[in-house]
Structure 1
Amino acid sequence: MTQRLLGAAVPGFAPPPAPGPALIEGRHVTLERLDPARHADDLFAANAGQDRVWDYLPYGPFADLRAYRDWQASMAGLSDPFFYAFRDRETGGIGGLGAYLRIERGHGVIEIGHIGIAPFMQRSTAATEAISLMIGWAFAAGYRRVEWKCDALNEPSRRAARRYGFTHEGVFRQHLIVKGRNRDTAWFSIIDSEWPSLARAHALWLAPGNFDARGCQRQSLGELTAREA
């Protein structure tokens, strides 16, 4: 008799909740449910003259503040994607956006994307913590898989995915047409069995003792997550 090959059973699985907390708070950053009245002006100003911020996003750059406010308004009421603005707790400034999207609660799958970080927040502890908080919320809520996808040409995004501990799963060739150009899409994921050890690496990186008096990291997040691979 031919052996039947079946996937592992998933006993007791219940669909996790949809994203919804108005705030997700960290040490360096607070994630606030997107509100154009509170976030559009600051973020438009933070990105002014920085058109490269929009290179790999399916929208932008925006001609003026009104156009940007209108775009934020069109996103703010959606449940998928579900957007957060990133507020730097030290400066109080809004420095970026991110969203949960392609939310498949019945399978326990959620993606983190629409990430746009203004220059003043790029490569900062606050920016890294923002994504860490989003990953952590998803697994704490009961999701089994968190995805990260990006244009295969977007090397900074690919490096970031690896730094957070995502596993590269391949490239979908000619996956999309974005702004009239071909997009091959690189796929990454973290699954729930991997997150506890990766979460420890994230916590070690964010610990005050990992930064010297000038705020420079002693160990990189990539080094810490690689040890947990």
Structure 2
Amino acid sequence: MADIMNEMGQPIGRPVATELPRPRPEKTRLEGRFCALVPLDVTAHGDALWEAFSLDASGANWTYLPIGPYANKGDFRQFLQGAEASHDPLYFTVLDRDGHAVGHATYLRIDPLHGVIEVGFIHFSPKMQRGPMSTEAMYLMMRYVFETLGYRRYEWKCDALNAPSIAAAKRLGFSFEGVFRQATTYKGRNRDTAWFSVLDSEWPALKARFERWLAAENFDAAGRQRASL
């Protein structure tokens, strides 16, 4: 759709069709076939998350997070207590099919007035990586944003040096928008931030891709995907 012009011949953009503001995300359960996302609960999830994250013996999964790693379970639980109480970021625990906590992700920079929201603080343990749970978790969060909450824009941001995160954003259908140089600092170092997004108009086609990939017939008896996302 072309931008509209005002009476002075200036392009002023397309009118907003979405009713604003949009509702804030709630502490709800997002159910899938391979996993579920539930509001983070320290009592229910703390020990399992500590054990799952401890499988990353090198600590490499913490490198590009502004938090951690934690030297002991007590410090980790203190972080989780703050995360449980937070509303932005809004933390969700990822549960596997047996109900075990295996990772977390959040909605953050929540902007109901403009219908914009970001996904971030994604920490998937080795139990989730390179399997369908990680893809389905991102699909469930995106579906909730676009279909239940009716947001216009869904963002993904990461350190511009974080090659795995950049690859994941592209695989999941986010469009690269550029790099904000010296956007922030963390852990005593500079961060140039890479920006990605999905728009509401792009969601129907992207949803179809996710659902084809997540379909039972796309996995063989050993659980390996037949066709890539």
TM-score bracket relative to the smaller structure = over 0.9
Say which of 99, 117, 125 aligns to 2:124: 117
Q: Distance in 1 between matches of 2:46 and 2:75?
A: 10
Deviations 1:45-103 (A, max 9, x none): 111134111100001000111111010101111111000000011x4321111000000
Structure 2 unmatched runs, 5+: 1-6
Who is 1:128 aligned against?
Answer: 135
Say which of 146, 168, 171 aligns to 2:154: 146
Who is 2:85 aligned against?
Answer: 77
The farther-off stretch of 7-16 and 29-38 is 7-16
Deviations 1:163-201 (A, max 9, x none): 110000001111111100111110000000000000000
1:79-228 alignment runs, 5 A limit:
79-89=87-97, 91-140=98-147, 141-221=149-229
CA contact (8 A) 1:170 1:187 kept: yes
TM-score, length-scaled by structure 1? 0.93
Who is 1:62 aligned against?
Answer: 70
Given the alignment of the two structures, is residue 51 of structure 1 paired with residue 54 of structure 2, yes or no?
no
SS of aligned partner of 2:95: strand
Who is 1:224 aligned against?
Answer: none
> What is the CA-CA distance between 1:7 and the residue it aligns to?
1.3
1:8-27 alignment runs, 5 A limit:
8-11=14-17, 13-27=19-33
**Structure 1's 120 and 4: CA in aligned 2 closer, same or farther, altered over 3 A?**
same
> What is the CA-CA distance between 1:214 and the residue it aligns to?
1.3
Q: Distance in 2 between matches of 1:3 and 1:178?
A: 45
Say which of 25, 30, 34 aligns to 2:40: 34
> What is the CA-CA distance between 1:149 and the residue it aligns to?
0.4
CA contact (8 A) 2:18 2:152 kept: no
Matched to 1:99, the amino acid is T
TM-score, length-scaled by structure 2? 0.93
Matched to 1:132, the amino acid is Y
Matched to 2:165, the amino acid is S
Q: Distance in 2 between matches of 1:93 and 1:20?
A: 22
Q: Distance in 2 between matches of 1:111 and 1:5?
A: 28
Number of aligned residues: 220
Q: Distance in 1 between matches of 2:114 and 2:18?
A: 13
> What is the CA-CA distance between 1:21 and the residue it aligns to?
3.8
Who is 2:9 aligned against?
Answer: 3
> What is the CA-CA distance between 1:213 and the residue it aligns to?
1.4
Structure 1 unmatched runs, 5+: 222-229
Q: Distance in 1 between matches of 2:176 and 2:92?
A: 25
